[in-house]
Structure 1
């Protein structure tokens, strides 16, 4: 089994960015090589801080750490909040610079269940490979040399604390070489992105004057599966709905009542299955009507990307894929409906021969350009009703459940629309030229990534500011899951990328 994984990894390395070759800017590489242990030590310290957005004290500790860390690199900053987790807004002015780049990253992470991890999520662990390939643990204290293929395992290692470390290391390397940024630098670091950035709109309304810039870089998300560097020009919107179906008022013995009393788990499974066909395509009436199809330029960009579908299928041990043969990048351009959790009774040793009173599913919706949360809610509510359910916006009473098939539809707040920008913009072409010239390697242009970011709020607040996504994490970083990790070479590459942009973007 491991041989199949090694075949994929070797194929990825053939496309790899920065697998040991020297950077075009030797001074950046030389500084990094001489300070690798310190850079990793800083990253380790940052990752050791618990960072679930719902814990305000933890997030304030993270924000305070960031303030101290970036202050050493000449940033003035403030911690701001609007009733949720904190944000850090910062600026470093460069004498003589006429242009400003605004950089976004987030420092909160998904909740982590320690029992599911191979090592504690807030005790950063160094391994010589992925957990899935039995990567061996490496003692931090005995490091002499560092293999760039090693990985750091911790919550937010890949999503999304690395940009803060890499950006500051790039500035340190530039200073050591006697170089200065060609731009003013502004930062907005989000402490609640994984919770949907619910107060970001208020933050932007109150602090927009501190965030104006000539270009915004969203530093989040995984790189292309080929490991080639990429610029990304869109994200999907996101929404979540929890659906609860109901059966008997109390648990019933499945032998006595099975086939007579409706089983809410089965009712809910039938409803969920009716949303898509056997190939995973959404078949809800009218659901796709608002979707904007990809432009010719976006289709062309997808066709020129390295096709990693076969390698991914091999890596993930998939017997087949969905989508009617479309490649993964094309699927990411459209909407999706994913059942991300289901609870209707125990399994394994926890299973019991009973029909439960209720069953609940949590469903994630990814939105494509043209769709709005309001229209999606209307389409789905109509669909649920057409399937014979009576909808309730709060848990129904026993009396209400006795009248008809009740469905509690709990739309979580914070849903938002997709974002898409122009691949051919002057800013994009300038970034591509800078990066390709810096190290002689190709930069991919990707129309959209499958995940979601609250870019639409920045688009609304700064309609004339170009926004481009610059991801740095390895594609197999276990984002949002157990054993999240960052490949060390990706951190080294990020230092190079940030240094190139800061050194060159403000020049004529």
Structure 2
């Protein structure tokens, strides 16, 4: 292990420059104008794995953007096999005028590497690639069998990955999955993410008259769809942040006292300071950290109705629409939750309007692995060994559908070992990644692979 760490120490500058080359490619998956850039980024990953010494490295075509698959299976049948997942596609850089440097011209300032994809997810993917190469170039082998799956559609919902994972189960079969597409609760604070929320949603529209009406002539005779929508949505959650949809909490996995202790001990965000909101709110009986990490939510993401221009236009709008999403916890099924929401809306729709509902097609179940699982404990120990600080254990309010897919299709644990920080500005102008975390992350991975090797 020492020779691998020494190699990484000596090649720090080289690795940073190689990452800059990767970041220079504008692999924006949402924009068809970047189709060739997407392929160029995929080719970069495939070529890097091949040059590192992988016995198989190739771009595999999909109905959309190509997936990069690689493997090195020479550790023997008794050695564990890990599947490393990540993505090479990035978000659009807009708005460009808010960037302090060009989004695809990587630049280091004040200890941070600024570029689109620096943290999400090229920087974290590249750490894995560099560590695998370091092992093969110094020892000639890897501590365990490794498969690599780096896709190009994560930022557009991994449109084709589920079908690919289902159709090619033998190709991607492993003992566990490693994903570095997340972060720490604070810079230099080792963090183990052992749970993610699920996701589902609806679009709700109430229709009244055939067209907008004069509010003076028809107010009091025709139900206002905007008012009806406000009344309907108000039936779904009370002032104590408790969702009042019948059955919503029935299958929720209880939050154990041990987990409440873990969450209490983890550094927390000062929400009024970080968001500018006047105060913190949470579900009755739970702290804000507990609510965001481990309790389900129902949120209105957007509402639209009637006149939006300057001044006043005295109308009764013809219709009103709201977009709703739920973040789900273990035990809750997205389809069942959609059914409950639909039943509630149909029961409580005010008289005088008609209801139409569109179900969100992209849903995902929550994911959680035991903090005591050996693979998780080894990850915590590896972080502590590198950062010289005890790791904290948290669950995250966000959702990563691919994590639940690996769990459902393969029934194997997923290790979420991320090195991002709250200051990384993911999906925003001036995305960045701490250079120190880039180097320490690679050291952590070396320690981790050695520990997993010794589990045999």
TM-score, structure 2 as length reference = 0.85
Deviates more, 1:295-304 or 1:75-84: 75-84
Aligned residue number for residue 355 of structure 2: 407
> Aligned runs of 1:108-257 on 2, under 5 Å?
108-109=89-90, 112=92, 114-115=94-95, 118-119=98-99, 123-124=103-104, 140=107, 147-148=110-111, 150-154=112-116, 156-174=117-135, 180-225=141-186, 227-254=188-215, 257=218
Q: 1:50 — aligned with what? A: 28
Q: 1:338 to 1:485 in 2, by over 3 A?
A: farther
Shift of 1:118: 1.1
Asked if the contact 1:28/1:496 (under 8 Å) is kept, the reply is no
- State the 1:348 CA deviation: 5.7
Q: Is the 8 A contact 1:276 1:282 kept in 2?
A: yes
Asked whether the equivalents of residues 223 and 353 of structure 2 are also in contact (C-alpha less than 8 Å), the reply is: no
CA distance in 2: counterparts of 1:195 and 1:62, whole angstroms:
16
1:320 aligns to what?
279
Mapped to 1, the partners of 2:323 and 2:3 lie a distance apart of 48
Return 167-176 or 209-218, whichever deviates more. 167-176
Greater shift in the superposed pair: 428-437 or 416-425: 428-437
Question: Cα offset for 1:246?
Answer: 1.7
Once residues 353 and 435 of structure 1 are traced to their aligned partners in structure 2, the CA distance between those partners, rounded to angstroms, is 61
CA distance in 2, matches of 1:489, 1:255: 65
Pair 1:472 & 2:433 matched: no
Q: Aligned to 1:64, which of 35, 39, 43? A: 43
Equivalent position of 2:10 in the other structure:
31
Deviation at 1:235, TM superposition (A): 1.2
Alignment of 1:295-314 (within 5 A): 295-306=256-267, 308-310=268-270, 312-314=271-273
Is the alpha carbon distance of 1:113 and 1:212 closer, same or farther for their aligned partners in structure 2, counting shifts above 3 Å?
Answer: closer
Q: Is the 8 A contact 1:153 1:484 kept in 2?
A: yes
Once the two structures are superposed, the pairs formed by residues 388-399 of structure 1 within 5 Å of their partners are 388=349
Q: CA deviation at 1:504?
A: 4.1
Structure 1 match to 2:407: 459
Map residues 356-505 of structure 1 onto 2, 5 A cutoff: 356-388=317-349, 404-463=352-411, 465-481=412-428, 484-505=431-452
Q: CA-atom RMSD, angstroms? A: 3.4
1:165 is displaced (CA, Å) by 1.7
Q: 1:389 to 1:203 in 2, by over 3 A?
A: farther
CA–CA distance in structure 1, aligned partners of residues 193 and 68 of structure 2: 24
Instruction: Specify whether residues 158 and 435 from structure 1 end up closer, same or farther in structure 2 by C-alpha distance, changes over 3 A only.
Output: closer
Runs of 5+ unmatched residues, structure 1: 1-22, 127-139, 391-403
Check conservation: 1:25, 1:438, Cα contact below 8 A.
no
**Larger deviation, residues 227-236 vs 379-388:** 227-236
Deviations along 1:388-413, whole A, 9 cap, x unmatched? Answer: 269xxxxxxxxxxxxx5212210021
The residue aligned with 2:67 is 87
- Show the counterpart of 2:251: 290
Q: In the alignment, which residue of structure 1 is the partner of 2:84?
A: 103
Residues 329 and 365 in structure 2, CA contact (< 8 A), matched pair in contact too = yes
Distance 1:389 1:60 in 2: 52
Distance change >3 Å, CA 246–CA 477, structure 1 → 2: farther
Q: Number of matched residues?
A: 449
What is the TM-score when the length of structure 1 is the normalising length? 0.77
